[in-house]
Structure 1
Amino acid sequence: MSRLAALLPTTFSRTIEDWLAEDIPSFDYGGYVVGNDEKVATLFCKSQGVLAGVPFFDQVFRHTGCTVTWSIEEGAEIIPLNGKVAVAEVRGPARRILMGERLALNILARCSGVASRARRLRTLADTLGFTGVIAGTRKTTPGFRLVEKYGMEVGGADTHRMDLSTMVMLKDNHIWATGSITNAVKSARSVAGFSVKIEVECQSEQEAYEAIDAGADIVMLDNFTPEALRLAVSNVKTRCLSSHSGVLIEASGGITEETAALFMLSGIDIISFGTMTQSVPHVDFSLKIAREASEPASSANGVCDF
């Protein structure tokens, strides 16, 4: 199992159990059909991508009483040949394999999709010599954040803030509600203390200067064009570097995988992508139980006995 599995909270097991309960609220009719004979199912990957979500997949089948054996390590790039490649085997009673099948595949497909995009963005940054942080955002699916943030980790991206308790991010609504960037930062610092970083979303250079002077740790230059961003970063660094050398500059807002290279500029410390989780293509997986040999027809002449 990947070392990253050690990051997961113990509560993720209960989450998996809740998801299984959601999928089987009463009778399992399909499970009745297939029964409890021991079977082996092969997990196939049918599209290119980074394998991610192994601990969640394992936990689904641990709850259903099955065992999983992996032939490919988490974090590996999978390139299917001849349409598909075997990734793992699941062993257990037929009805229990099928009990967990769809939930496990849904988790694996999305987690791997997020990891794949994260890996592509990190690889692009490395190729271009960009040494800043490639990060996701809090634009995650409600109830599914842990899986998506885990996928970022597997893909080599930073998870940014996990939730509202992790870091203070003061956006336009916070600023409008308090009257100014300075007021918002002062109020945040009064309760966040020294251990929680404060980031301010800025729409202009002047807002960036105010945020830095107010004591922000991170300044987000939001929705800048690449040309405006290049100029703003140069000006902010020149003006504030000597007195506020620890301030980080983040670029964000509408940056996609297709436009990312334009924003990988010198002086940018962080680029965050909402698209790391929004509209991300899934990696295609399927789980197939080994097929039984066909039985001979009961009547050669097509006549049925009742």
Structure 2
Amino acid sequence: MFSVERLALRTQLQAWLHEDLGTGDVTTAFTIPEGHQSKGIIHAKEDGIIAGIPVAEMVFDVVDASLVFNSFVQDGDVVTKGTVIAEVEGSTHSILTGERLALNLLQRMSGIATKTQAYVNALDGLDVKLVDTRKTTPGHRALEKYAVRVGGGANHRFGLYDSVMIKDNHIKGAGGITEAVARARKHIPYTMNIEVEAETLEQVQEALSAGANIIMLDNMSNDKMKEAVTVIRAASPHVRIEASGGVTLDTIREKALAGVDIISVGALTYSFAALDISLDLNAKKEG
């Protein structure tokens, strides 16, 4: 499941470690003898979905390749408070050097996976795909979008380069939906889709006439969304329909029942609670 490009990730981890370590960990250096050995037990302090085990392991490997990392759960596993997630054994100095970065990433990714699964569960039984957005932390997009997949969601476009999404400001700049779609169609490969954001039924009609492959219904009321879905299905049943804007855990199912194919939720990656995970030295793993 872990598909982030490993060499690029190692380079990022080295930079993030340097941000934390600077010229050295003065506390550890001055309080713990050189050569001291420990076992660190990584455990969950609340229930949730784990994501980021391979990332945490890589952090410790970048710090010190002699550290031994053993995981007891896999990404996507449900854990409860007290579950031992992994152990890392070796130099105490090295464990403490990597501890915070490993935990930061593991906590954040697990928080995203946990929130995503809650949204997926709210769509249980419905043929609707939950996707993320580009509202990610700079430098962390690949990890955060991976965590969404671990939680059962899917990824929208990764960046500005992999699909055409004509939003309100593009429409204003181009002089209308029709003109924007026509200009984009002249340049993109035939395999690339064009998605158009529509806020009104008039824009839905124009997007259909212009030949959009996907129409995003942005911030529409549920009644207006149902009306838009009816119009789109009647005109072109192959056009995919996305709902976006103001989607919460309380409202997502009702929006899905309007008949859309996709629901995008930016909050998956910009408004989540990190899962509480801790590392304790020399703790004993319970059998």
Q: Same fold (TM over 0.5)?
A: yes
Report if the CA contact (8 A) 1:130-1:266 is conserved.
Answer: no
Instruction: In structure 2, give the amino acid aligned to 1:217.
Output: N
Name the TM-score, length of structure 2 as normaliser.
0.93
Name the TM-score, length of structure 1 as normaliser.
0.88
Which residue of structure 1 lines up, in the alignment, with residue 84 of structure 2? Answer: 86
Aligned-partner SS, 1:10 = helix
- Of stretches 170-179 and 65-74 in structure 1, the one that deviates more from structure 2 is 65-74
Larger radius of gyration: 1
Among 250, 254, 274, the alignment partner of 1:282 is: 274
Instruction: In structure 1, give the amino acid aligned to 2:260.
Output: I
CA distance in 1, matches of 2:249, 2:26: 43
Which residue of structure 2 lines up, in the alignment, with residue 263 of structure 1? Answer: 255
Runs of 4+ in 1 over 4 A off after TM superposition: none
CA distance in 2, matches of 1:291, 1:180: 63
Which residue of structure 2 lines up, in the alignment, with residue 206 of structure 1? Answer: 202
Question: 1:116-265 counterparts in 2 under 5 A?
Answer: 116-126=114-124, 129-238=125-234, 240-241=235-236, 245-265=237-257
Aligned-partner SS, 1:121 = helix
Identical residues among aligned pairs (%): 36
**CA positional deviation for 1:76:** 0.7
**CA positional deviation for 1:266:** 4.9
Aligned-partner SS, 2:24 = coil
Report if the CA contact (8 A) 2:131-2:154 is conserved.
Answer: yes
CA distance in 2, matches of 1:212, 1:13: 45
**CA positional deviation for 1:28:** 1.9
Aligned-partner SS, 1:58 = helix
RMSD of Structure 2 on Structure 1 (CA): 1.5
Indicate whether 1:29 and 2:26 are aligned.
yes
Q: Cα deviation per residue 1:131-178 (whole Å; 9 max; x = unaligned)?
A: 111111111111111111010010110111111111111110000001
Q: Cα deviation per residue 1:169-223 (whole Å; 9 max; x = unaligned)?
A: 1110000001010111111122222122111110112211211221211100000
Report if the CA contact (8 A) 1:222-1:252 is conserved.
Answer: yes
Report if the CA contact (8 A) 2:208-2:232 is conserved.
Answer: no
Q: Can you give the 5+ residue segments of structure 2 that lack an aligned partner in the other structure?
A: none
Report if the CA contact (8 A) 1:134-1:271 is conserved.
Answer: yes
Report if the CA contact (8 A) 1:182-1:214 is conserved.
Answer: yes
**CA positional deviation for 1:235:** 2.2
Indicate whether 1:13 and 2:19 are aligned.
no
CA distance in 1, matches of 2:179, 2:167: 13
Aligned-partner SS, 2:216 = strand
**CA positional deviation for 1:100:** 0.6
**CA positional deviation for 1:264:** 1.3
Aligned-partner SS, 1:230 = helix
CA distance in 2, matches of 1:139, 1:6: 20
Question: 1:4-83 counterparts in 2 under 5 A?
Answer: 4-32=1-29, 33-34=31-32, 35-65=34-64, 66-80=67-81
- Of stretches 88-97 and 7-16 in structure 1, the one that deviates more from structure 2 is 7-16
CA distance in 1, matches of 2:128, 2:265: 13
Report if the CA contact (8 A) 2:116-2:268 is conserved.
Answer: yes
CA distance in 2, matches of 1:54, 1:227: 43
**CA positional deviation for 1:85:** 2.1
Q: Can you give the 5+ residue segments of structure 1 that lack an aligned partner in the other structure?
A: 293-306
CA distance in 2, matches of 1:60, 1:30: 20
CA distance in 2, matches of 1:69, 1:226: 48
Aligned-partner SS, 2:69 = strand
Aligned-partner SS, 2:241 = strand
**CA positional deviation for 1:7:** 4.7
